[in-house]
Amino acid sequence: MFQIVRKQEYAKGTIIRFDINAPKIAKKIKPGQFIILRVNETGERIPMTVADKDEFAGIITIIFQVVGKTTALMRSLKDGDMIRDIVGPLGKPAEVHNIGTVVMIGGGTGVAILYHVAKAFKEAGNFVIGIMGARDKEMLILENEMRAICDELIVTTDDGSYGQRGFVTEPLEKYLEERYDIKLVYAIGPIVMMKNVCKLTKKYNKPTMVSLNPVMIDGTGMCGGCRVKVDNKTQFCCVDGPDFDGHLVDFDELEKRNSMYLKDEKTSLLFSIR
């Protein structure tokens, strides 16, 4: 059993942060890795990236968007409530080196996944340019935290309610035009965002890493549920990823596979709120 020591709500309760007491995981987990949790005995297993950790206090932080049955159930939990099981750390950690200038791009709740990795790149001595985007001002998360670790930070909103109006690809293109010293771009967010970032960085020949989010079940390479195509080869995201060279990822296939269960997911949510 794992206790939620603090719950915070953002964006009118559609994005939730849990600080969870999990000392063994906090000690081991590295940026880019994730956990699989089960809220209760009969709950489904869902993957969540650890957005931050406090090794000394034994706390891990997850930040999630409420999108369906399990995340809606998680929203109903309060400070002090328990999560039945947490397995982790899972997946490979992000490869973090001192390489110079890096651009870290986060879209929507992708910023929660990006933050831990961006912080590690800063701690490794890199010049970190952050670009974070959201649908509108309400949906922005971790702006202060990102500002504290980035040497430069650009915020975009689709509707212009805060920061620059438009998508994250616009400031990215400006940076790619103006700065020749960019060594790596890291993009985490909706599939369509990662796909468009990769299209752009391919044009400028800039190495790009993305963190993929296929449906996962066991998280240990056994079920095959999370298979993705990278460089025309099948990879299991839970053990070979979740980070991959974005220029080699087949995003169209990932998009198709991720929407395979939409009908069932809607039915499941409907039954759970009846």
Ligand X SMILES: Cc1cc2nc3c(=O)[nH]c(=O)nc-3n(C[C@H](O)[C@H](O)[C@H](O)COP(=O)(O)OP(=O)(O)OC[C@H]3O[C@@H](n4cnc5c(N)ncnc54)[C@H](O)[C@@H]3O)c2cc1C
Q: Which residue is nearest to ligand X (CB)?
A: 68
Residue ranges of E strands in 52-175:
52-54, 59-65, 82-83, 85-90, 101-107, 127-134, 152-157, 164-165
Least separation in angstroms between residue 236's CB and ligand X is 11
Q: What angle do CA 251, 252, 255 make, to 5 degrees?
A: 85
Looking at the Cβ atoms of 179 and 270, the one nearer to ligand X is: 270
With tokens 């080196």, the residue in question is 97
The contacts found for 121-124 with CB under 8 angstroms, 24 or more apart, are: 121/96, 121/186, 122/149, 122/150, 124/96, 124/97, 124/98
Among 114, 142, 168, 216, binds ligand X (CB under 6 A): 216
Q: Can you give the three-state secondary structure of 23-69, one letter per residue?
A: HHHHHHCCCCCEEEEECCCCCCCEEEECCEEECCCCEEEEEEECCCH
Least separation in angstroms between residue 100's CB and ligand X is 28
Among 50, 238, 249, 254, binds ligand FES (CB under 6 A): 238
Is residue 125 a contact point for ligand FES (CB under 6 A)?
A: no
Burial class of 229 by CB neighbour count within 10 A (0 to 12, 13 to 18, 19+): middle
Is residue 248 a contact point for ligand FES (CB under 6 A)?
A: no
Query: Binders of ligand X among 44-63, rule CB under 6 A?
Result: 46-49, 62-63
Looking at the Cβ atoms of 157 and 235, the one nearer to ligand FES is: 235
Least separation in angstroms between residue 224's CB and ligand FES is 5
x/- contact string, 162-201, with ligand FES (CB under 6 A)? Answer: ----------------------------------------
Among 182, 198, 210, 216, binds ligand FES (CB under 6 A): 216
Report the SS3 class of residue 262.
Answer: helix
Closest CA to 186 of 206, 209, 212, 220: 209
Least separation in angstroms between residue 25's CB and ligand X is 14
Listed ranges 66-74, 118-126, 153-161, 182-190: which one lies at the site for ligand X (CB under 6 A):
66-74
Is residue 31 a contact point for ligand X (CB under 6 A)?
A: no
CA distances from 179 to 92, 171, 201, 206 (A): 30, 12, 13, 11
Is residue 128 a contact point for ligand X (CB under 6 A)?
A: no
Among 87, 183, 225, 229, binds ligand FES (CB under 6 A): 225
Is residue 196 a contact point for ligand X (CB under 6 A)?
A: no
- Which residues in this chain contact ligand FES in the complex, by CB under 6 A? 216-219, 221-226, 236, 238
